[in-house]
C-alpha cells in the first residue's frame, strides 16, 4: 500500500541552484536576516547565513546539518546537475570515474556497483538521505546533485558504507518561476536520450514539477540493446511560514540486454573480441519496474530548532537472466559458458526523523543532530540455473566462434527460493561543538537494531533431518561512534583528524544469503581513520586532501574460484587523495582529483606463511582532470582525462587489467538565452582499455571514440 505524508528541508531545498555563477550573483545575507522555510524551499534564497558564514554549494544534503564543507572532518565530493550536463554523464559510473578514491564495478551488466577506498559494494546508495539498495542502474535525469562521502558513515546512514556512500539529491518543485526545459542527445552508436523538466508555480506557496526521460540504449558491443524511461512528478507546498511539505512519486522502467564482457587468456583480457557478445540476446535480459513514493515535512520549531520527517514506500520488481563466459581455452579454441535466472521482488517502507538544533552554552556554540529511523524490507527471490541439453549441466564447453553460437539451453527448477523480512531501528545523536573560532569537535553515536528472518522454501520442503528446517534468523544490535577534531587557523582553512566505525550484518546485499553457518557470525566491522586538510583558496576554488586507513574485519569478497559464492576475509586499505575544484579565474573552471590506494587482505595464511593478496578492482593510482574554459559569451570548451593504473580482475591476482589513459573533450555553443548545443567526445584518441570486471572472465571493454551531440531548450 502506498503510504504518504511528510518533508523537504527548507535549507536543503534552498540549495536547488548549485551553479557558482548563480551563487556569486546572490547577495550575502547577514546573520540577523530572518529566513523562513517556505521562502527557502521555494528557491527564493540561494545563500543562507549560518553563524555569519554562508553556504551554497559549500554544504551537502547528506550531512543532515547546515555545516560548511570546510568544517566536515571527512572527504566529500559534490557533483552538481550542471557538471553532470556539461560532461555528458549518463550514469553513476560516469560520475565515479571522475571521483578520487572511487572506481566502478561491472555489476554483472545489470546494476550499479562501486568500490570506494577498497570496499566493493552494490548497496551503499541513497536517495535524499534514504537507503536505496535494490540492484539496478540509477538514472540521473531528476537530480540536483550527487554527493560522494568517503570513509565509514554508519552514524548518518546506518549499516554498511564502510568505504563510503553515494547520495543522490533529487529536484523538487519551486514557486520561484515557471519553466520548461527540453533536452535531447544522440551519440555515435545511436544511443538516444530525450528529457523534460517542467515546473509550474501554482501560487506563491504551491508548485508542481515533472521530470521525465526516455533512453534508447546502444553501444559498441554486438547485440547490446535496450530502453529505459522514468517519470518523477513532485509537489511542494508551504503550509505556513515555518512548515514545508514535499510529495514525490517516481516510476522507473528499465529493459536491456545483459552484457558481462569477455573472458581472459594468459592472465590478460582475451584479445581481438572487443565487439563479441558472449551470450544470447534472448536469454541475456534484465527488466526492472520500480515505484517510489516519498513524503517529507519540514518544520521550524523556533529560532534554534528545526525538525524534518520523511516517509518512503518503494516497490521493486527485478528480473535478471544471463549466459556468460566462465573460462577460455586458447589451445582448443573453446569457451566455457555458464548462467542463471534470478527474480527479485522487494517492498521497502522507511520512516526517518531528524532534529537539528543550533544554540550556545556560554561561549560554546553547538550544532546538534538527533535522529531516528525505522524501516521494513520484504524481499522474495528465486534462482534457476541454466541447463544445457548437450552437457545436462549448468555449464558447457563449446567451440568458439564469432558470433558465439549458444548451444540449446533452458533453466532448471529453483535452486534457491527464499523470502526475507528485515526490520531495522536506529537512534543517533551528534554534536558539532565550536569551542573557539579555531577549534571544533564533532562527536556522535548511533545505535542500530537489525533483525532478519529468512524462509528457505527448498530447505523447508526437504525437512529438518539435515539440521536445517528452512527457518533462519539473526538479530544484531550495534553502536557506531564518530569522533572528529578540527583546527581552523582562519575561516577558509581547516585541518582535521577523525575516526569512525561502521558495521554490516551477516546477510548479504539482498538479505538472502543467510545460512546455518553465517547465522553465528558477527557482523562485518569497518574502521576509518583519517587526517586531512580543506582550504577554500577563494570563494570559487577549494582544495582538499586526506590520508586515511580503512580496516575491515569479518569481510566478505567474491570467491575467485566460484563467482557465485563469497569467502570471509579481513582487509586493510591505506590511501591518499586530493581534489582541486572550482574556478581558477573567471573563465577557467577545473575539477582535478588524485588518489593512491594500497588495498590488501589481512591475516591470510598459506602453508604457515602470510599470503595476503591485493584486493581486486582497486587501481593503485587514479588521476582525473576536467577543464572548462569559457571563451566568450557564445563559445566554451572542455578537456579532461582519466588515468587508471593496472588492477586485478579478482582476488586470485592472476588476471590483470592494464593501465589506461582516456582523454575526453567538449565544445559548447550558446545559440540564444534559451538554446544551447554541445558536443562531447569520449575517448578522444581511441584508447583500448578495460575499465572494470566482475571476475577473471567477465571483463568490460571501454568504448572506442564516441561523440555525443546534445541540445537544450528552455522556455
Q: pLDDT tens for residues 503-534? A: 888 765 556 666 665 655 678 899 999 999 99
The parent domain of residue 19 ranges over: 10-266+275-358+365-435+442-459+468-714
Beta bridge partner(s), residue 580:
543, 592
Sign of CA dihedral 100, 102, 105, 107: negative
User: In this structure, is residue 4 part of a structural domain?
Assistant: no
Reply yes or no: is the peptide bond before residue 403 cis, omega within 30 of 0.
yes
Nearest Cα to Cα of residue 511 among 134, 154, 129, 165: 134
User: What are the start-end ranges of the E strands in 90-142?
Assistant: 102-104, 114-116, 119-121, 125-127, 130-131
Per-residue pLDDT at 556? 61
Above 80 in pLDDT, residue 482? yes
State the CATH number of the domain containing residue 531.
Answer: 2.40.170.20
CA distance 429 to 442: 11
Long-range contacts, stretch 11-14, CB < 8 angstroms, 24+ apart = 11/37, 11/40, 11/48, 11/66, 11/306, 12/61, 12/169, 13/40, 13/41, 13/42, 13/43, 13/172, 13/174, 13/236, 13/244, 13/246, 14/40, 14/41, 14/43, 14/44, 14/45, 14/46, 14/48
Per-residue pLDDT at 515? 64
Q: Give the lowest-confidence range in 55-64, 95-104, 470-479, 546-555.
A: 55-64
Q: How many CB atoms lie within 10 A of CB 661?
A: 12
pLDDT, tens digit, 9 for 90 and up, residues 610-642: 889 999 999 999 999 999 999 999 999 999 999
Quick one: cell of 181? 526545459
Per-residue pLDDT at 402? 94
β-pair type (125-127, 164-170): parallel
SS3 assignment, position 323:
strand
Per-residue pLDDT at 504? 87
Per-residue pLDDT at 10? 31
Mean pLDDT within 643-668: 97
Domain total for the chain? 1
User: In this structure, is residue 350 part of a structural domain?
Assistant: yes
Query: Would you place residue 560 in the very low, low, confident or very high pLDDT band (cuts 50, 70, 90)?
Result: low
CB 310 within 8 A of CB 352: yes
CB 707 within 8 A of CB 683: no
User: In this structure, is residue 1 part of a structural domain?
Assistant: no
CA distance 8 to 37: 9
Per-residue pLDDT at 222? 96
Quick one: cell of 451? 533483525
Above 50 in pLDDT, residue 7? no
Mean pLDDT within 56-74: 83
Per-residue pLDDT at 575? 96
CB 137 within 8 A of CB 525: no
User: In this structure, is residue 340 part of a structural domain?
Assistant: yes
Per-residue pLDDT at 44? 36
CB 37 within 8 A of CB 243: yes
Query: Would you place residue 243 in the very low, low, confident or very high pLDDT band (cuts 50, 70, 90)?
Result: very high
SS3 assignment, position 94:
helix
CB 148 within 8 A of CB 138: no
Please indicate whether residue 35 or residue 204 has the higher confidence score (pLDDT).
204
CA distance 615 to 593: 22
Place of cell 540449446: 408
User: In this structure, is residue 312 part of a structural domain?
Assistant: yes
CA distance 69 to 49: 14
User: In this structure, is residue 684 part of a structural domain?
Assistant: yes
β-pair type (609-610, 605-606): antiparallel
CA distance to 198, 248, 298, 626, 634, per residue, from 244 (Å): 21, 13, 5, 38, 39
Interacting residues of 392 by C-beta distance below 8 A, sequence separation 6+: none
Query: Would you place residue 251 in the very low, low, confident or very high pLDDT band (cuts 50, 70, 90)?
Result: very high
Cα angle 127, 129, 133 (rounded to 5 degrees) comes to: 50
Q: What is the DSSP string of 39-83?
A: HHHTT--S-EEETTEEESTTS-GGGSS---GGG-SS-EEEEEHHH
Backbone angles phi, psi at 157, to 5 degrees: -125, -5
Q: Give the lowest-confidence range in 89-93, 252-256, 553-557.
A: 553-557
User: In this structure, is residue 121 part of a structural domain?
Assistant: yes
User: In this structure, is residue 408 part of a structural domain?
Assistant: yes
Above 50 in pLDDT, residue 48? no
Interacting residues of 34 by C-beta distance below 8 A, sequence separation 6+: none
- How much is the pTM? 0.89
Per-residue pLDDT at 472? 86
Please tell me the number of Cα atoms within 13 Å of 353 on its side-chain side.
6
CA distance 78 to 99: 9
Amino acid at each position: 500500500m502506498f503510504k504518504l505524508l511528510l518533508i523537504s528541508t527548507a535549507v536543503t531545498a534552498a540549495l536547488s541552484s548549485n551553479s557558482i555563477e548563480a551563487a556569486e550573483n546572490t547577495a550575502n545575507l547577514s546573520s540577523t536576516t530572518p529566513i523562513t522555510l517556505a521562502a527557502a524551499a521555494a528557491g527564493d534564497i540561494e545563500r543562507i547565513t549560518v553563524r555569519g558564514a554562508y553556504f551554497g554549494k559549500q554544504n551537502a544534503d547528506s550531512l543532515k546539518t547546515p555545516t560548511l564543507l570546510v568544517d566536515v572532518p571527512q572527504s566529500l565530493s559534490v557533483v552538481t546537475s550542471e557538471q553532470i550536463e556539461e560532461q555528458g554523464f549518463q550514469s553513476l559510473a560516469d560520475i565515479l570515474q571522475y571521483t578520487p578514491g572511487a572506481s566502478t564495478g561491472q555489476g554483472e551488466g545489470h546494476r550499479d556497483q562501486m568500490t570506494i577506498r577498497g570496499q566493493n559494494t552494490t548497496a551503499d546508495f541513497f536517495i535524499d538521505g534514504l537507503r536505496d539498495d535494490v540492484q539496478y542502474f540509477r538514472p540521473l535525469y531528476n537530480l540536483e546533485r550527487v554527493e560522494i562521502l568517503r570513509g565509514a558513515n554508519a552514524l548518518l546512514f546506518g549499516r554498511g558504507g564502510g568505504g563510503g556512500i553515494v547520495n543522490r539529491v533529487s529536484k523538487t518543485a519551486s514557486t520561484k518561476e515557471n519553466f520548461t526545459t527540453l533536452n535531447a542527445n544522440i551519440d555515435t552508436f545511436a544511443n538516444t536520450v530525450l528529457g523534460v523538466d517542467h515546473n509550474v508555480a501554482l501560487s506563491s506557496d504551491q508548485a508542481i514539477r515533472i521530470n521525465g526521460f526516455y533512453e534508447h540504449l546502444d553501444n559498441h558491443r554486438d547485440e547490446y540493446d535496450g530502453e529505459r524511461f522514468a517519470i518523477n512528478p513532485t509537489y511542494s507546498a508551504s503550509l505556513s511560514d515555518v512548515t514545508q511539505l514535499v510529495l514525490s512519486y517516481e516510476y522507473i522502467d528499465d529493459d536491456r540486454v545483459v552484457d558481462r564482457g569477455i573472458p581472459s587468456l594468459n592472465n590478460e583480457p582475451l584479445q581481438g573480441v572487443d565487439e563479441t557478445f558472449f551470450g544470447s540476446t534472448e536469454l541475456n535480459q534484465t527488466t526492472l519496474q520500480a515505484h517510489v513514493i516519498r513524503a517529507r515535512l519540514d518544520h521550524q520549531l523556533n529560532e534554534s530548532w528545526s525538525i524534518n520527517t520523511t516517509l518512503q514506500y518503494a516497490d521493486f520488481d527485478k528480473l535478471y537472466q544471463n549466459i556468460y563466459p566462465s573460462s577460455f581455452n586458447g589451445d582448443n579454441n573453446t569457451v566455457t559458458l555458464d548462467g542463471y535466472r534470478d527474480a527479485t521482488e522487494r517492498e521497502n517502507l522507511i520512516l526517518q526523523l531528524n532534529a537539528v538544533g543550533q544554540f550556545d552554552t556560554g561561549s560554546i556554540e553547538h550544532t546538534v543532530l538527533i535522529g531516528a529511523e525505522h524501516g521494513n524490507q520484504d524481499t522474495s527471490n528465486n534462482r534457476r540455473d541454466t541447463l544445457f541439453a548437450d552437457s545436462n549441466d549448468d555449464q558447457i564447453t563449446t567451440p568458439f566462434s564469432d558470433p558465439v553460437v549458444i548451444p540449446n539451453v533452458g533453466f532448471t527448477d529453483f535452486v534457491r527460493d527464499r523470502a526475507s523480512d528485515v526490520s531495522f531501528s536506529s537512534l543517533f545523536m551528534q554534536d558539532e561543538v565550536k569551542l573557539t573560532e579555531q577549534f571544533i569537535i564533532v562527536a556522535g553515536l548511533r545505535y542500530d537494531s537489525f533483525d532478519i528472518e529468512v524462509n528457505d522454501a527448498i530447505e523447508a520442503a526437504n525437512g529438518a533431518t539435515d539440521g536445517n528446517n528452512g527457518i533462519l534468523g539473526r538479530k544484531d544490535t550495534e553502536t557506531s561512534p564518530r569522533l572528529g577534531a578540527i583546527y581552523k587557523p582562519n575561516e577558509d582553512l581547516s585541518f582535521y583528524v577523525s575516526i569512525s566505525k561502521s558495521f554490516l550484518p551477516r546477510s548479504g546485499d539482498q538479505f538472502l544469503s543467510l545460512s546455518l553457518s553465517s547465522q553465528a557470525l558477527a557482523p562485518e566491522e569497518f574502521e576509518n581513520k583519517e587526517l586531512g586538510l580543506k582550504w577554500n583558496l577563494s570563494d570559487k576554488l577549494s582544495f582538499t586532501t586526506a590520508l586515511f586507513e580503512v580496516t575491515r574485519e569479518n569481510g566478505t569478497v567474491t570467491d575467485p574460484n566460484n563467482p557465485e559464492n563469497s569467502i570471509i576475509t579481513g582487509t586493510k586499505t591505506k590511501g591518499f587523495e586530493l581534489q582541486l575544484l572550482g574556478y581558477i579565474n573567471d573563465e577557467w573552471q577545473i575539477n582535478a582529483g588524485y588518489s593512491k590506494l594500497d588495498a590488501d587482505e589481512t591475516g591470510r595464511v598459506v602453508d604457515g606463511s602470510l599470503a595476503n593478496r591485493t584486493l581486486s578492482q582497486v587501481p593503485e593510482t587514479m588521476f582525473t582532470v576536467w577543464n572548462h574554459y569559457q571563451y566568450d559569451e557564445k563559445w566554451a570548451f572542455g578537456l579532461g582525462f582519466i588515468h587508471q593504473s593496472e588492477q586485478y580482475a579478482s582476488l586470485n591476482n592472476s588476471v590483470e587489467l592494464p593501465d589506461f589513459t582516456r582523454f575526453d573533450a567538449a565544445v559548447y555553443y550558446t545559440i540564444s538565452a534559451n538554446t544551447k548545443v554541445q558536443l562531447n567526445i569520449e575517448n578522444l584518441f581511441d584508447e583500448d582499455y578495460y575499465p572494470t570486471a566482475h571476475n577473471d572472465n567477465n571483463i568490460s571493454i571501454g568504448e572506442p571514440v564516441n561523440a555525443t551531440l546534445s541540445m537544450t531548450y528552455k522556455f
